[in-house]
Protein backbone atom coordinates (compact mmCIF):
# COMPACT_ATOMS: atom_id res chain seq x y z
CA UNK A 1 0.00 0.00 0.00
CA UNK A 2 2.83 2.40 0.88
CA UNK A 3 4.58 1.55 -2.40
CA UNK A 4 1.36 2.25 -4.36
CA UNK A 5 0.83 5.53 -2.51
CA UNK A 6 4.40 6.67 -3.25
CA UNK A 7 4.05 5.62 -6.87
CA UNK A 8 0.88 7.73 -7.16
CA UNK A 9 2.62 10.73 -5.57
CA UNK A 10 5.51 10.43 -8.03
CA UNK A 11 3.04 10.23 -10.89
CA UNK A 12 1.17 13.32 -9.64
CA UNK A 13 4.43 15.28 -9.32
CA UNK A 14 5.48 14.37 -12.87
CA UNK A 15 2.04 15.28 -14.25
CA UNK A 16 2.05 18.60 -12.36
CA UNK A 17 5.52 19.53 -13.65
CA UNK A 18 4.65 18.49 -17.22
CA UNK A 19 1.33 20.36 -17.31
CA UNK A 20 2.72 23.56 -15.77
CA UNK A 21 5.82 23.52 -17.98
CA UNK A 22 3.63 22.99 -21.05
CA UNK A 23 1.47 25.99 -20.11
CA UNK A 24 4.62 28.11 -19.61
CA UNK A 25 6.05 27.12 -23.00
CA UNK A 26 2.68 27.79 -24.66
CA UNK A 27 2.49 31.21 -23.00
CA UNK A 28 5.95 32.03 -24.36
CA UNK A 29 5.30 30.85 -27.92
CA UNK A 30 1.70 31.94 -28.58
CA UNK A 31 2.22 35.68 -28.84
CA UNK A 32 -1.43 36.60 -29.36
CA UNK A 33 -2.85 34.18 -26.77
CA UNK A 34 0.23 34.15 -24.52
CA UNK A 35 -1.15 36.45 -21.78
CA UNK A 36 -4.42 34.49 -21.65
CA UNK A 37 -2.61 31.12 -21.50
CA UNK A 38 -0.27 32.48 -18.82
CA UNK A 39 -3.27 33.07 -16.54
CA UNK A 40 -3.48 29.30 -16.03
CA UNK A 41 0.13 28.83 -14.84
CA UNK A 42 -0.74 29.08 -11.11
CA UNK A 43 -3.66 26.64 -11.33
CA UNK A 44 -1.88 23.23 -11.55
CA UNK A 45 0.61 24.37 -8.89
CA UNK A 46 -2.25 25.43 -6.63
CA UNK A 47 -4.14 22.18 -7.18
CA UNK A 48 -1.18 19.89 -6.50
CA UNK A 49 -0.08 22.05 -3.56
CA UNK A 50 -3.43 21.18 -1.94
CA UNK A 51 -3.27 17.55 -3.03
CA UNK A 52 0.39 16.80 -2.24
CA UNK A 53 1.37 19.40 0.35
CA UNK A 54 3.52 22.51 0.64
CA UNK A 55 6.96 20.90 0.10
CA UNK A 56 6.03 19.13 -3.13
CA UNK A 57 4.26 22.27 -4.34
CA UNK A 58 7.53 24.21 -3.96
CA UNK A 59 9.42 21.39 -5.65
CA UNK A 60 7.02 21.46 -8.62
CA UNK A 61 7.48 25.23 -9.10
CA UNK A 62 11.28 24.92 -8.84
CA UNK A 63 11.39 22.09 -11.38
CA UNK A 64 9.18 24.02 -13.81
CA UNK A 65 11.41 27.11 -13.56
CA UNK A 66 14.50 25.02 -14.31
CA UNK A 67 12.75 23.63 -17.40
CA UNK A 68 11.78 27.16 -18.50
CA UNK A 69 15.36 28.40 -18.03
CA UNK A 70 16.66 25.47 -20.10
CA UNK A 71 14.26 26.50 -22.88
CA UNK A 72 14.71 30.30 -22.92
CA UNK A 73 18.16 30.65 -21.29
CA UNK A 74 19.41 33.00 -18.58
CA UNK A 75 19.42 35.92 -21.02
CA UNK A 76 15.61 36.08 -20.70
CA UNK A 77 15.74 36.53 -16.93
CA UNK A 78 12.89 39.07 -17.07
CA UNK A 79 10.57 36.52 -18.68
CA UNK A 80 11.67 33.80 -16.25
CA UNK A 81 11.03 36.12 -13.29
CA UNK A 82 7.55 36.97 -14.59
CA UNK A 83 6.65 33.27 -14.98
CA UNK A 84 8.04 32.60 -11.50
CA UNK A 85 5.78 35.34 -10.12
CA UNK A 86 2.79 33.67 -11.75
CA UNK A 87 3.84 30.35 -10.24
CA UNK A 88 4.12 31.99 -6.81
CA UNK A 89 0.42 32.81 -6.96
CA UNK A 90 -0.19 29.05 -7.07
CA UNK A 91 1.82 28.60 -3.87
CA UNK A 92 0.72 31.65 -1.87
CA UNK A 93 -3.01 31.54 -2.63
CA UNK A 94 -3.47 28.11 -0.94
CA UNK A 95 -1.67 29.41 2.17
CA UNK A 96 -4.12 32.30 2.39
CA UNK A 97 -7.05 29.98 1.60
CA UNK A 98 -6.18 28.00 4.74
CA UNK A 99 -6.52 31.17 6.83
CA UNK A 100 -10.23 31.16 5.85
CA UNK A 101 -10.42 34.94 5.41
CA UNK A 102 -12.84 37.10 3.44
CA UNK A 103 -12.42 37.27 -0.32
CA UNK A 104 -11.09 40.86 -0.09
CA UNK A 105 -8.39 39.88 2.42
CA UNK A 106 -7.56 36.71 0.48
CA UNK A 107 -6.96 38.62 -2.76
CA UNK A 108 -5.26 41.54 -0.97
CA UNK A 109 -2.83 39.46 1.09
CA UNK A 110 -1.93 37.21 -1.85
CA UNK A 111 -1.37 40.20 -4.14
CA UNK A 112 0.76 41.97 -1.52
CA UNK A 113 2.87 38.86 -0.88
CA UNK A 114 3.48 38.21 -4.59
CA UNK A 115 4.43 41.85 -5.28
CA UNK A 116 6.75 41.89 -2.25
CA UNK A 117 8.50 38.74 -3.46
CA UNK A 118 8.82 40.28 -6.90
CA UNK A 119 10.40 43.43 -5.44
CA UNK A 120 12.89 41.29 -3.48
CA UNK A 121 13.81 39.32 -6.63
CA UNK A 122 14.25 42.57 -8.60
CA UNK A 123 16.45 44.05 -5.86
CA UNK A 124 18.63 40.91 -5.69
CA UNK A 125 18.99 40.78 -9.48
CA UNK A 126 19.95 44.46 -9.66
CA UNK A 127 22.59 43.89 -6.94
CA UNK A 128 24.09 40.89 -8.71
CA UNK A 129 24.07 42.60 -12.11
CA UNK A 130 25.24 45.98 -10.66
CA UNK A 131 22.32 47.60 -12.47
CA UNK A 132 19.72 49.82 -10.85
CA UNK A 133 16.17 48.38 -10.54
CA UNK A 134 14.92 51.30 -12.66
CA UNK A 135 17.31 50.34 -15.48
CA UNK A 136 16.30 46.66 -15.22
CA UNK A 137 12.61 47.53 -15.58
CA UNK A 138 13.34 50.06 -18.35
CA UNK A 139 15.31 47.49 -20.38
CA UNK A 140 12.54 44.91 -19.94
CA UNK A 141 9.86 47.37 -21.11
CA UNK A 142 11.91 48.36 -24.15
CA UNK A 143 12.37 44.69 -25.05
CA UNK A 144 8.62 44.07 -24.62
CA UNK A 145 7.79 47.08 -26.81
CA UNK A 146 10.08 45.77 -29.57
CA UNK A 147 8.44 42.35 -29.34
CA UNK A 148 5.02 44.00 -29.69
CA UNK A 149 6.27 45.81 -32.80
CA UNK A 150 7.56 42.53 -34.24
CA UNK A 151 4.18 40.90 -33.52
CA UNK A 152 2.40 43.68 -35.46
CA UNK A 153 4.66 42.97 -38.42
CA UNK A 154 3.89 39.24 -38.22
CA UNK A 155 0.12 39.79 -38.35
CA UNK A 156 0.53 41.90 -41.51
CA UNK A 157 -0.57 45.17 -39.99
CA UNK A 158 -0.45 48.15 -42.36
CA UNK A 159 2.90 49.91 -42.76
CA UNK A 160 1.28 53.15 -41.62
CA UNK A 161 0.25 51.63 -38.27
CA UNK A 162 3.67 50.01 -37.83
CA UNK A 163 5.42 53.35 -38.49
CA UNK A 164 3.17 55.15 -36.00
CA UNK A 165 3.87 52.48 -33.37
CA UNK A 166 7.61 52.55 -34.04
CA UNK A 167 7.71 56.34 -33.66
CA UNK A 168 5.69 56.13 -30.43
CA UNK A 169 7.82 53.42 -28.76
CA UNK A 170 9.95 55.87 -26.79
CA UNK A 171 6.88 57.71 -25.49
CA UNK A 172 5.11 54.45 -24.63
CA UNK A 173 8.11 53.20 -22.63
CA UNK A 174 8.37 56.60 -20.88
CA UNK A 175 4.70 56.44 -19.83
CA UNK A 176 4.83 52.76 -18.87
CA UNK A 177 7.81 53.38 -16.58
CA UNK A 178 5.82 55.99 -14.66
CA UNK A 179 2.72 53.88 -14.26
CA UNK A 180 4.62 50.63 -13.62
CA UNK A 181 3.42 50.47 -9.96
CA UNK A 182 -0.22 50.46 -11.11
CA UNK A 183 0.52 47.97 -13.92
CA UNK A 184 2.17 45.56 -11.47
CA UNK A 185 -0.65 45.85 -8.92
CA UNK A 186 -3.44 45.58 -11.51
CA UNK A 187 -1.83 42.62 -13.30
CA UNK A 188 -1.26 40.76 -10.02
CA UNK A 189 -4.78 41.53 -8.80
CA UNK A 190 -6.25 40.17 -12.01
CA UNK A 191 -4.13 36.99 -11.94
CA UNK A 192 -5.00 36.33 -8.27
CA UNK A 193 -8.71 37.07 -8.80
CA UNK A 194 -8.92 34.88 -11.92
CA UNK A 195 -7.15 31.95 -10.26
CA UNK A 196 -9.32 32.27 -7.17
CA UNK A 197 -12.37 31.79 -9.40
CA UNK A 198 -10.79 28.88 -11.29
CA UNK A 199 -9.57 27.29 -8.05
CA UNK A 200 -13.03 27.36 -6.44
CA UNK A 201 -14.47 25.30 -9.27
CA UNK A 202 -11.49 22.92 -9.51
CA UNK A 203 -11.04 22.27 -5.78
CA UNK A 204 -14.75 21.71 -5.18
CA UNK A 205 -15.00 19.33 -8.13
CA UNK A 206 -12.14 17.26 -6.64
CA UNK A 207 -13.57 17.54 -3.10
CA UNK A 208 -10.54 19.44 -1.78
CA UNK A 209 -10.69 22.29 0.73
CA UNK A 210 -11.84 25.67 -0.54
CA UNK A 211 -13.07 28.61 1.58
CA UNK A 212 -16.72 29.56 1.30
CA UNK A 213 -16.68 33.12 -0.01
CA UNK A 214 -20.44 33.16 -0.50
CA UNK A 215 -22.04 34.43 -3.71
CA UNK A 216 -19.30 36.37 -5.48
CA UNK A 217 -21.81 37.71 -8.01
CA UNK A 218 -23.11 39.87 -5.13
CA UNK A 219 -19.66 41.20 -4.24
CA UNK A 220 -19.18 44.96 -4.09
CA UNK A 221 -16.24 47.21 -3.35
CA UNK A 222 -16.08 49.05 -0.01
CA UNK A 223 -18.10 52.26 -0.25
CA UNK A 224 -15.25 54.40 1.09
CA UNK A 225 -13.24 53.50 -2.05
CA UNK A 226 -15.11 56.32 -3.78
CA UNK A 227 -13.08 58.81 -1.70
CA UNK A 228 -9.85 57.26 -2.91
CA UNK A 229 -11.12 57.70 -6.49
CA UNK A 230 -12.00 61.36 -5.81
CA UNK A 231 -8.60 62.06 -4.24
CA UNK A 232 -6.76 60.32 -7.10
CA UNK A 233 -8.77 62.31 -9.64
CA UNK A 234 -8.06 65.53 -7.72
CA UNK A 235 -4.31 64.89 -7.88
CA UNK A 236 -4.53 65.19 -11.68
CA UNK A 237 -5.38 68.89 -11.24
CA UNK A 238 -1.97 69.65 -9.71
CA UNK A 239 0.76 71.00 -11.97
CA UNK A 240 3.57 68.91 -10.50
CA UNK A 241 4.25 65.86 -12.77
CA UNK A 242 5.04 63.58 -9.81
CA UNK A 243 1.67 64.32 -8.17
CA UNK A 244 -0.14 63.72 -11.47
CA UNK A 245 1.63 60.37 -11.91
CA UNK A 246 0.56 59.41 -8.38
CA UNK A 247 -3.06 60.24 -9.25
CA UNK A 248 -2.93 58.25 -12.52
CA UNK A 249 -1.51 55.20 -10.72
CA UNK A 250 -4.21 55.44 -8.08
CA UNK A 251 -7.02 55.71 -10.65
CA UNK A 252 -5.76 52.70 -12.62
CA UNK A 253 -5.79 50.49 -9.51
CA UNK A 254 -9.22 51.76 -8.44
CA UNK A 255 -10.63 51.14 -11.93
CA UNK A 256 -9.52 47.50 -11.67
CA UNK A 257 -11.39 47.12 -8.37
CA UNK A 258 -14.54 48.61 -9.90
CA UNK A 259 -14.04 46.28 -12.87
CA UNK A 260 -14.32 43.35 -10.46
CA UNK A 261 -17.57 44.81 -9.14
CA UNK A 262 -18.84 45.37 -12.68
CA UNK A 263 -18.05 41.78 -13.65
CA UNK A 264 -19.85 40.58 -10.51
CA UNK A 265 -22.94 42.49 -11.67
CA UNK A 266 -22.66 41.04 -15.20
CA UNK A 267 -22.30 37.54 -13.70
CA UNK A 268 -25.33 38.17 -11.47
CA UNK A 269 -27.55 38.92 -14.47
CA UNK A 270 -26.10 36.04 -16.49
CA UNK A 271 -27.19 33.76 -13.65
CA UNK A 272 -30.53 35.47 -13.14
CA UNK A 273 -31.45 35.33 -16.84
CA UNK A 274 -30.01 31.79 -17.15
CA UNK A 275 -27.68 32.60 -20.05
CA UNK A 276 -26.22 29.46 -21.71
CA UNK A 277 -22.59 28.81 -20.72
CA UNK A 278 -21.38 29.12 -24.32
CA UNK A 279 -22.98 32.55 -24.67
CA UNK A 280 -21.49 33.63 -21.34
CA UNK A 281 -18.01 32.57 -22.50
CA UNK A 282 -18.43 34.56 -25.74
CA UNK A 283 -19.60 37.69 -23.89
CA UNK A 284 -16.79 37.45 -21.30
CA UNK A 285 -14.30 37.12 -24.17
CA UNK A 286 -15.74 40.22 -25.84
CA UNK A 287 -15.36 42.17 -22.60
CA UNK A 288 -11.72 41.04 -22.41
CA UNK A 289 -10.81 42.17 -25.94
CA UNK A 290 -13.12 45.16 -26.52
CA UNK A 291 -11.88 48.28 -24.71
CA UNK A 292 -15.26 50.01 -24.95
CA UNK A 293 -17.04 47.08 -23.26
CA UNK A 294 -14.29 46.99 -20.63
CA UNK A 295 -14.93 50.65 -19.82
CA UNK A 296 -18.69 50.01 -19.69
CA UNK A 297 -18.14 47.22 -17.13
CA UNK A 298 -15.95 49.54 -15.03
CA UNK A 299 -18.61 52.25 -15.21
CA UNK A 300 -21.30 49.77 -14.13
CA UNK A 301 -19.19 48.82 -11.11
CA UNK A 302 -18.51 52.46 -10.25
CA UNK A 303 -22.11 53.70 -10.52
CA UNK A 304 -23.51 50.66 -8.70
CA UNK A 305 -22.95 52.57 -5.46
CA UNK A 306 -25.79 54.91 -6.42
CA UNK A 307 -27.91 52.84 -8.82
CA UNK A 308 -27.70 49.48 -6.97
CA UNK A 309 -28.15 47.34 -10.09
CA UNK A 310 -28.66 44.09 -8.13
CA UNK A 311 -31.00 45.62 -5.49
CA UNK A 312 -28.67 44.35 -2.75
CA UNK A 313 -29.71 47.13 -0.36
CA UNK A 314 -33.26 45.78 -0.30
CA UNK A 315 -31.94 42.33 0.61
CA UNK A 316 -29.69 43.76 3.35
CA UNK A 317 -32.53 45.83 4.84
| pLDDT tens-digit readout, 93-149 | 999 999 999 999 999 999 999 999 988 888 887 787 777 777 777 777 777 777 766
Alpha-carbon gap, residue 11 to 257, rounded angstroms? 40
- Confidence tier at 75 by pLDDT (50, 70, 90): low
pLDDT at 315: 53
Average pLDDT score over residue span 143-162 = 67
pTM above 0.85, yes or no: yes
The number of CA neighbours under 13 Å toward the Cβ of 284 is 17
| Lowest-confidence pick of 7-16, 67-76, 103-112 | 67-76
User: Is the distance from CB of 217 to CB of 271 less than 8 angstroms?
Assistant: yes
Alpha-carbon gap, residue 171 to 153, rounded angstroms? 20
The mean pLDDT value of the chain amounts to 86
Average pLDDT score over residue span 69-92 = 84
pLDDT at 209: 86
Alpha-carbon gap, residue 305 to 198, rounded angstroms? 27
User: Is the distance from CB of 294 to CB of 259 less than 8 angstroms?
Assistant: yes
For residue range 233-287, what is the model confidence (pLDDT) as tens digits?
Answer: 999 888 788 899 999 999 999 999 999 999 999 999 999 988 898 999 899 988 9
Of 292, 172, 268, 280, residue with least CA distance to 220: 268
User: Is the distance from CB of 301 to CB of 261 less than 8 angstroms?
Assistant: yes
Share of the chain above pLDDT 70, in %: 89
Q: Is the pLDDT of residue 64 over 60?
A: yes
Amino acid sequence: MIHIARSQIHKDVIVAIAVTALICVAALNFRMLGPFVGLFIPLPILFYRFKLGRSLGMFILTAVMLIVISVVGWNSIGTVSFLFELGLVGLILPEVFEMNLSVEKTVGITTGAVITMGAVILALYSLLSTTSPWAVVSDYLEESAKLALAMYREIDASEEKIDILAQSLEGIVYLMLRIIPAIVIVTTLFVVWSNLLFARFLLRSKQLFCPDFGRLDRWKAPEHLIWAAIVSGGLLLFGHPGIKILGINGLIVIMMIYFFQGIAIVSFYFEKKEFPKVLRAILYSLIAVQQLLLLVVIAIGFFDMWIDFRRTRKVES
